[in-house]
Amino acid sequence: MRYTSTRGQTPALSFSDAVATGLAPDGGLFLPETLPAFDAAQLARFDALKNDYAGLCFEFLRHFATDIPEETLRAIIAKSYTTFSVPEIAPLKQLSPDLFVLELFHGPTLAFKDFALQVLGNLYEHQCRVRGESINVLGATSGDTGSAAIHGLLGKPGTAIFILYPDGRTSPLQERQMACTGAKNVFALAIDGTFDDAQSALKDVFGDQEFRTRYHLSAVNSINLARVLAQCVYYLSAWLRLPEGARASAEFVVPTGNFGNVLAGWMLQKMGVPIRGFKVATNQNDILHRLFTTGEYSVADVRPSLAPSMDIQVSSNFERFLYYSLGRDTARVREVMSTFKTTGRYVFENFDRDTFSASRCDDAEIPGIIKRVYQDFGYIVDPHTACAFKDLSRDRASVVLATASPAKFPDTIREAIGMEPTDPALEILKARPLVKHKINADPAAIKAFITANAV
C-alpha cells in the first residue's frame, strides 16, 4: 500500500517512509491511497481476535504496513503492548445496561496516546536498525502526547526526541512525565504561549526541507499517520466486545481537541466496520463543537482549562477529515487550508451530521460531572473523560472513551469527590528533578536547539 499527501504535491511513499517523514513536504498529511474495505470474512477474522489485543492490532495493521515483513510487524506490535499494566490492554467496563467505558489509560504514561506511541517508538527503533540511520523526533503537546511519545523512545539507540509544550498549561504530573525521565535522548522544551503556538512553530520547522533532511527529522504528533492507524484498533476491539444488541446502535463518545482520536474511529467506519456514530466531546475550547453543530470551523482564543490536553483551537487532523469531505480533491484542500491559514475560518457547504454529534463542557461543570459519575456508578473519571459524560444520549448505547487516568489530575478529583487517586508510577516522578528547557516558540530557536542536541 502507498501513501499520498492530502495536498497532492508529494510523491506517494511506502508505509515506513510515510511514518519516517511524518508531515508531508508539501505541508499536507499522509493517508492511504485507498482505504481497505473490510468484508464479512475479514470482520469474522477480527472477531476471532477480540480478546487478543496485540493479535487484533497485527491483523489490522498488516493491511497498511505492507513493506514490513509480517513476522517483524507481529514482533513489533507484541513488544509494544508488553508495557501495559492489565492483560486486557483496553478494558471495556459496563456501568449500566446502555453505558460502557473503554479504559485507555493502562499504558506506561496512563493516557490513550500510549496505544499508538508505543508502536510508533518501536517502528522508529526498527527503522534505525534496518536503515543504519539515526532519527530526531519532534513533537508538540498540550499534555499527554508528549509524555507518551517520550516513553515510546526512552533510551532507544539512534534516537533523540524534542517535545514542545506550553509552559504552565499542562498539569504538574503531565510535565513531570516529560521532564523527569532522566533519559539522555529526551528534551522537554517549555515555550511561552499555547499549544497552537507550539504546533505552528513545529510545522514551520518541518517546512525547512534542507533542515529536516539533514537531521532525519520526523513528527510524532497525530499528524503522523501511524498514530491514527494504531488508534483505529481500540475502536475495533471495543466494538467487537460489545453485546450483540449494542453493536448496531452504539455511539462512541470521544473527548478530543486535536481530532486525531475521533478521526481514527471515523476512518474505521469508512473501512466497513458498521459503527453507528461518534459524539465529539470538547471542553471550553470548543472549535470542534462549533464545527459539528454549525458546520463552521473557526479559530478563537485558547483558554486554559481543567482538561488541558484539549486546550487546542487548530486541530491538526482537521485536514484529513477535510480531504475526505471534499471527495479527495487535493486542489480544493490546498485552497481551503490556504484560506483558513489567512482568515482562521472555513464553512462546510454540505455538512453530514448523521455520523457526528457534539457536546461542550465548561470548567465550572467538570467537578460536578466527576462527582455525579462517582455517586451514580462508583467510578472515577479524569477531567477529560468527564466532558464525555455530559448530555449522553438516552436513545442508544454509549461507549465513553476514558482517555487518561484520574491519578494524573489529583487536585480536580479531590475538589470533586474529596479523594485523591494515586498511581505508583506518578509517585516516583514526584521525587525526581525537573529538567526542562525554556525556549521561544520560534522556528529559528527550535532549530538551533535541535542542531546542538541532535543524534
pLDDT score at 352: 63
Is position 157 within any domain? no
**At residue 32, what are phi and psi to the nearest 5 degrees?**
-60, 145
Q: Is residue 68 part of a domain?
A: no
Q: How many structural domains comprise the chain? A: 1
Tell me whether residue 5 is in a domain. Answer: no
Half-sphere exposure of 453 (CA within 13 A, CB side): 21
- Closest by Cα among 201, 151, 226, 234 to 1: 226
Give the residue numbers spanning the domain of 339. Answer: 87-108+226-421
Give the DSSP H or E segment for 45: helix 40-47
Q: For the CA atoms of 316, 317, 322, 324, what is the dihedral angle to 10 degrees?
A: 160
- Taking the C-alpha atoms of residue 309 and residue 117, their distance in angstroms, rounded to an integer, is 16
Q: Residue 401 pairs with which residues in a beta bridge?
A: 102
| Within a domain: 260 | yes
In a domain, 331, yes or no: yes
- φ and ψ at residue 439, rounded to 5 degrees: -150, 145
Q: Is 194 left (phi over 0), alpha (psi -120 to 50) or beta?
A: beta
> Are 234 and 102 within 8 A, CB to CB?
yes
- Residue 266 backbone class (left: φ over 0; alpha: ψ -120 to 50; beta: rest): alpha
408: domain CATH number is 3.40.50.1100
DSSP-derived letter for residue 159 is E
Residue located via cell numbers 497485527: 58
Instruction: Determine, yes or no, domain membership for 413.
Output: yes
Q: Cβ distance 172 to 412 under 8 Å?
A: no
* CA terminus-to-terminus distance, the chain: 31
Q: How many Cβ atoms are within 10 Å of 43's Cβ, its own excluded?
A: 15
Predicted local distance difference test score (pLDDT) of residue 144: 80
The tens digit of pLDDT for each residue in 281-326 reads 999 999 999 998 998 999 989 899 999 889 888 888 989 999 998 9
Write down the pTM of the prediction: 0.93
The model's pLDDT over 242-274, given as tens digits with 9 standing for 90+, comes to 998 899 899 999 999 889 999 999 999 999 999
- The reply to whether 372 falls in a domain is yes
**Cα angle vertex 227, ends 46, 334, to 5°?**
115
Write down the pLDDT at residue 351. Answer: 64
- DSSP bridge pairs for 191: 166, 439
Please list the active-site residues.
113
Helix-helix angle 225-241:40-47, to 10 degrees: 80
Gap between the Cα atoms of 317 and 259, Å rounded: 5
Q: What is the C-alpha separation between 406 and 426, in angstroms, rounded? A: 11
- What does the pLDDT look like over 143-189, one tens digit per residue? 788 899 999 999 999 999 999 999 999 989 999 999 999 999 999 99
**Secondary structure string (H, E, C) spanning 46-87:** HHCCCCCHHHHHHHHHCCCCCCCCHHHHHHHHHHHHHHCCCC
Residue 311 placed within a domain: yes
